[in-house]
Amino acid sequence: MRLGHEQELDAPQGVVWANFMDLHRIGRSFPGAKVTEVHGDDFVGEIKAKLGPLSMYFDGTGSMVERDQDRGRARLTATGQERHGLGRATIDITLTLHPVAKDERTRAHLVTDLVFLGFPMDFGTGLVQRASDPLIERFLTLMAVPGPVPDAAADDDGSLDLIRSATDLFGSFRRDRRERKRR
């Protein structure tokens, strides 16, 4: 499944680039993710996701496989295995940055190729795209913050809450439906 996100960030391209090159920061900026080890361009990490009362833990490894600062392009790949199950996921993320407004702002384009194996649920690309939009928006916003990731960026217990993301998504469907009826 391929997802695309684009966002204009309130930071120069150099700040966003430097933050994306910090593999520990990437882990701290995404809900439920944690990078535990970094060795050059390779990393080890984990993601904790909640589905109602059920918690799922994934352990994984990844690499920054492309860094082209002149073109503003970076690519990161990772593979994870569910700790207590058969689920596996692979992810390939490509970030492209373009300066905007006299180099004071940056347009970030993030393309994510995601493959889930062994999960009993099947999500449509449109549903996953809409559910991921606020998560990626938050992630990219944190990539534009100079200095350390703010402590307030951490969620309640540090988990990616899939129910809350789905609830937010279905709430947006209801708002969209109400707005269409008003027209």
How is 68-82 classified by DSSP, letter by letter?
ETTTTEEEEEEEEEE
Tell me how far apart the alpha carbons of residues 54 and 67 are, in angstroms, rounded to a whole number: 37
Give the distance, in angstroms, between the CA of residue 32 and the centroid of all CA atoms in the same chain. 10
Instruction: Please say whether the beta carbons of 12 and 18 come within 8 A.
Output: no
The arithmetic mean of pLDDT across residues 68-89, rounded, is 90
Residue 139 has pLDDT above 90, yes or no: no
Residue 168 has pLDDT above 70, yes or no: no
Give the range of the structural domain holding residue 19, as residue numbers without chain letter: 2-182
Could you tell me the CA-to-CA distances from 110 to 5, 98, 146 in Å, in that order?
A: 5, 12, 20
Question: Could you tell me the pTM of the whole model?
Answer: 0.74
Assign 141 a pLDDT band (cuts: 50, 70, 90): confident
The pLDDT score that the predictor gives to residue 156 is 44
Q: For the chain, how many residues are written?
A: 183
Give the distance, in angstroms, between the CA of residue 35 and the centroid of all CA atoms in the same chain. 13
Q: Which amino acid is at 10?
A: D
Strand partners, 106: 9, 99
Average pLDDT of the chain, as a whole number: 79
Tell me how far apart the alpha carbons of residues 43 and 144 are, in angstroms, rounded to a whole number: 22
Which CATH number characterizes residue 96's domain?
Answer: 3.30.530.20
Assign 55 a pLDDT band (cuts: 50, 70, 90): confident
Residue 179 has pLDDT above 70, yes or no: no
- What is the number of domains present in the chain? 1
Tell me how far apart the alpha carbons of residues 179 and 183 are, in angstroms, rounded to a whole number: 7
Half-sphere exposure at residue 139, Cβ-oriented, CA atoms within 13 angstroms: 22
The pLDDT score that the predictor gives to residue 39 is 96
pLDDT higher for 169 or 135? 135
DSSP 123: -
Instruction: Please say whether the beta carbons of 33 and 24 come within 8 A.
Output: no
The set of residues, in sequence order, having a beta carbon less than 8 Å from that of 50 and lying 6+ positions away, is 56, 159, 160, 161, 162, 163
The pLDDT score that the predictor gives to residue 153 is 54
The arithmetic mean of pLDDT across residues 123-144, rounded, is 69
